[in-house]
Amino acid sequence: MLKTIVVALILCLIEITVIVVASPLAKPALVLGFLPEDVRLAAKDHKEPAKWKQIIAHALLAFFLIAMFAGLIYLGIDGLKNGYGFWKLTLRFIILLYIMKAFDIIVQDQWLVMTVGYFKKIFPETSDCDGWKDRGFNNKNQIVRIVAYPFLCMITAGIFMLFR
């Protein structure tokens, strides 16, 4: 359990670092995709950064995805080495994803986006948008993911059980 929590927290730190560093370097459409709709509309004509900056942003995002898969693989292999069965592996993956989802909702959506206004600084043309006050702007997407995670975790655990 402790390994799962540690891996989840490491991935959360990598994720927030990548978001903070990569967002100003990325193509606006990539960043705006998860922000409130009126913010997306207000920033649709935002100037794109230089291509080399976009390449750095994509490299950072790729690094996070690789780290995420590496964390999953590490926890899966470690679970198999420690005799975990299907349900224990599923629980391990659920804990990982729910810690990351809680971090996403609390730190990224509510703190970074809403409280700190980090993306208002990247897209100053959006500072008057009402979407910045709507703390539930992403609720539907978050609920879909929260409901889907146990099934994804069961599929992932099942794949690891095939290699047992």
Task: Please classify residue 26 by burial: count the beta carbons closer than 10 Å to its beta carbon, then call 0-12 exposed, 13-18 middle and 19+ buried.
Answer: buried
* Residue range 26-71, pLDDT digits in tens: 888 888 888 888 888 888 888 888 899 999 999 999 999 999 999 9
Q: What share of the chain is helix, strand, coil (3-state, %, to 5)?
A: 80, 0, 20
What residues of the chain score a pLDDT lower than 50?
none
Burial of 106 (0-12, 13-18, 19+ CB in 10 A): exposed
HSE, CB side, 13 Å, CA atoms: give it for residue 158.
Answer: 6
**pTM given for the model:** 0.85
